[in-house]
Amino acid sequence: MSTSHRTIPIQPAPAGAAPSVDGLGCHAGAEALQTAARAAGKSEVLAQYARDYPVAEGPHAQPQSMCPAFGSLRVGLRMRRTATLLSGSACCVYGLTFTSHFYGARRSVGYVPFTSETLVTGKLFEDIRDAVHEQADPSRVDTVVIINLCVPTASGVPLQLLPKEINGVRLIGIDVPGFGVPTHAEAKDVLAGARLRYAREEVQSGPVAAPRGGRSALPTVTLLGEMFPADPVIIGQMLAPMGLAAGPVVPTREWRELYAALDCAVAAAIHPFYTASVREFEAAGRPVVGSAPVGLEGTQAWLQAVGQAAGLAQSQIDAARNPALAAMRGLLSQKPVQGRITLSGYEGSELLVARLLVECGADLRYVGSACPATPWNAHDREWLQQHGVQVQMRATLEQDLAAVHEYKPQLAVGTTPVVQKAKELCIPALYFTNLISARPLMGVAGAGSLVQVVQAAIGNQQRFDDMKAFFGQTGQGDAAGVWSATPQPRPEFKAEVRRQLDKQARRRKAEEMGS
């Protein structure tokens, strides 16, 4: 009995055809997701991100980071009377909500789920619109933020088609894909910039609400970048002799603070990667200065730049610089930090910390930042290079680890994996985010605080040596992991596996030559 077979021919896709996003996930890779997103109408968004947050070419072009969307989620969750919704794969949403609450969020995160069917038919957008209408209750919130993660962005879910407001509640839709925004630090700027743009358009349309405490009697300096709470106060004290005041910190905690932030004399890019936010200040006609008042030379240059940008006379600038510098000279002249250090992180303040360490006497060999080079950190980069420090922007984990191996520091300050590797090498180490960023950095208080923690860490070398001598090779190499009994080396097993692999390699080589 014969059976007829029908062969279905494989036809090449026509040129320019949009790739299917059905089932497309993070595993598809950045290139496939970018291609799908552009074909689905997200070319303009991705092109703007490429300009705002450029990366280098090559296999390690994008620094290692937690999901970038965490940055935008963090900014949204820290703002009063704001509801935040996520649209993305369930596993991504779970990870982001877990991380956000681990970092202290006290608000729920909304989630708009999808299936392959709702994704490709456009029903997901309808579900998002329904969710936004449900959340837009003016008695509870002033703003609803909806964030597209990788897959909805790749499929072209058009958040820009949502209304700008519902029942007086503002709606802000942003795409924050891991294949378009390099780090979670820069994702903070995606939402901060979108909110500033919305607020600036409101200001242009008519009167807006005054800040909760009223308008400042003095011209203000808006501070860009999340900082330790004491730093804006310290900066305000430095600015006061010039007749200036410290303004809001962007990202702000309340919507009306955005109006006050835009109503400034100068915007200070303390964290220099807030490119979209800077664009809004420039559109509002506000000058922007980089760097920060850290160390002696950094404080002198920053106060000078702020004073000039605000149009002040040199006598007014000197009135602020002289007391600030006098207070710092005593501490820094002692060169209290003694030791060789490598420094790396992803917060954006790495170059500022590096400058302060150098002025405190540290033998700083390397500073790496996952953030990009921008016009607002150019002065810091040049200063550090002139002082013999290797500066690596868009630094990867591989580069940070290579610096530890190359310079053999007495203290490694870095991200979690850098700290882990340094401690394996019996080198004292500090986690940048929790132990450096979480303390003041500006003025005398910043220098004193940094000196204390750095010197204490360097002084721990003897403890590391003692532990190394006690534990030896325990838990390393073949003995790593959890064992119910003392692990015993079995070199004969290794030899047999090596023999099998060599045999397999020779067979493949023979087959290649025969073909």
Tokens of 139: 């008695």
Closest CA to 377 of 430, 439, 302: 302
CB atoms inside a 10 Å sphere around CB 151: 25
The mean-pLDDT minimum among 14-18, 156-160, 339-343, 464-468 falls in: 14-18
Q: What is the pLDDT of residues 392-406, one digit of tens each?
A: 999 999 999 999 999
Angle of CA points 295, 301, 307, to nearest 5°: 125
pLDDT value of residue 59: 54
Do the strands 169-175 and 165-166 form a parallel or antiparallel pair, or are they unpaired? Answer: antiparallel
pTM for the full predicted model: 0.86
The DSSP H or E segment spanning 430 is strand 429-431
Rg (CA), the chain: 27
Task: Supply the angle between the helices 443-458 and 230-239 in degrees, to the nearest 10.
Answer: 140
Average pLDDT, the chain: 88
For 367, the enclosing helix (H) or strand (E) is: strand 363-369
In the prediction, which pLDDT does 513 show? 80
- Helix then strand then coil, in percent of the chain rounded to 5, is 50, 10, 40
Query: Nearest Cα to 194, choosing from 228, 137, 134, 146?
Result: 146
- Tell me how far apart the alpha carbons of residues 223 and 264 are, in angstroms, rounded to a whole number: 10
CB 291 within 8 A of CB 378: no
- Per residue in 245-287, pLDDT tens? 999 999 999 999 999 999 999 999 999 999 999 999 999 999 9
Tell me what pLDDT residue 331 has: 78
For residues 59 and 71, is the Cβ–Cβ distance under 8 A? no
Distance of CA 174 to the CA centre of its chain: 17
Taking only the tens place, the pLDDT of each residue in 151-191 is 999 999 999 999 999 999 999 999 999 899 999 999 999 99
Contact 324/299 with Cβ under 8 angstroms? yes
**List of E strands, 251-322:** 266-268, 288-289
